[in-house]
């Protein structure tokens, strides 16, 4: 075929393809327009405003500002600095370990008061010099017992425990029953993730769904998480499972591990 005839043939094919695409777009465009118009004409339904969602609560109140002795710095890209809200109060953290422990403590049912960066304790070091130390977290349990916590990496555990012992012996503190050092050995990623799920379930659980979920335990003392989803694979069942864990009706077989669908939950009573 001569070169000019080939070029003409190619142009003709391209023109036919363009015409076909234009006709297709017009056809589907008209169909979509008709569909939208039809939906607009028939969109008439009633919303029952008397039905409340399980997460409906009292009106939101702004949380109190941080009550600690110092605020964590916000000028670093290398550490996990930020805050969460507990008992409507800002709880700050300046490391991943602190964030994990803070969340784990908030998810405990026996914690009444949690303070970050509080108190500041004066103590005497090994050279008889008066120094000041800010406690990372102070916790008051519902039993009335209080504890001061230092959060450090595991590699600094021994030196930090020595510091806490010195503060315990020479410090000018009050209303603290004991001192404790916590590292990532306890504040694991698994416990952190589990605590976040438990806290979330407090706002989004449904009591009836919890009853249905707990009834599955009638014939079993333990079950895998995936077994709870038989016929109910949805977020309400997920919230019910974690609310039951939060309240202690069921517990993970391995609490330090991240609970997944393959994990086993054990009934407590």
The per-residue pLDDT for range 185-207, each reduced to its tens digit, is: 999 999 999 999 999 999 999 99
Q: Which residue has the tokens 């190619």?
A: 10
Could you tell me the fold of the domain covering 82-182? Answer: Trna Endonuclease; Chain: A, domain 1 (3.40.1350)
Per-residue model confidence as pLDDT tens digits over 128-179: 999 999 999 999 999 999 999 999 999 999 999 999 999 999 999 999 999 9
Q: Using CA atoms, how far apart are residues 169 and 148, in angstroms rounded to an integer? A: 14
Q: Using CA atoms, how far apart are residues 239 and 202, in angstroms rounded to an integer? A: 8
* 93 vs 12, higher pLDDT: 93
At 57 the pLDDT is 61
DSSP 8-state class, residue 65:
P
Instruction: State the pLDDT confidence band at 54, using cuts at 50, 70 and 90.
Output: low
Cα–Cα nearest to 80, from 71, 93, 89, 67: 93
At 52 the pLDDT is 53
Structure tokens at 127: 């050279």
Segments making up each domain of the chain, as ranges: 1-45, 82-182, 189-267
Q: Using CA atoms, how far apart are residues 251 and 170, in angstroms rounded to an integer? A: 40
Q: Using CA atoms, how far apart are residues 161 and 225, in angstroms rounded to an integer? A: 38
């Amino acid at each position: 075929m001569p070169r000019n005839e080939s070029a003409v043939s190619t142009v003709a094919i391209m023109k036919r393809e363009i015409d076909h695409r234009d006709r297709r777009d017009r056809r589907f465009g008209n169909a979509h327009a008709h569909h939208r118009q039809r939906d607009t004409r028939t969109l008439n339904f009633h919303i029952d405003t008397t039905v409340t969602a399980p997460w409906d609560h009292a009106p939101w109140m702004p949380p109190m500002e941080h009550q600690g002795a110092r605020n964590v710095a916000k000028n670093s890209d290398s550490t996990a600095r930020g805050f969460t809200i507990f008992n409507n109060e800002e709880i700050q953290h300046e490391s991943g370990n602190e964030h994990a422990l803070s969340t784990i403590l908030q998810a405990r049912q026996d914690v009444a008061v949690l303070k970050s960066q509080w108190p500041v304790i004066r103590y005497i070091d090994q050279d008889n010099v008066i120094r000041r130390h800010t406690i990372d977290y102070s916790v008051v349990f519902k039993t009335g017992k209080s504890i001061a916590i230092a959060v450090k990496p595991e590699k600094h555990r021994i030196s930090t425990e020595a510091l806490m012992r010195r503060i315990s012996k020479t410090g000018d503190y009050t209303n603290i029953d004991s001192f404790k050092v916590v590292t990532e050995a306890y504040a694991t990623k698994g416990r952190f993730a589990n605590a976040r799920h438990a806290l979330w379930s407090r706002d989004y659980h449904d009591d009836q769904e919890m009853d249905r979920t707990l009834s599955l335990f009638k014939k079993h003392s333990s079950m895998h998480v995936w077994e709870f989803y038989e016929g109910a694979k949805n977020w309400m069942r997920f919230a019910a499972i974690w609310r039951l864990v939060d309240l202690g009706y069921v517990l993970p077989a391995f609490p330090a591990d991240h609970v997944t669908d393959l994990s086993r939950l054990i009934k407590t009573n």
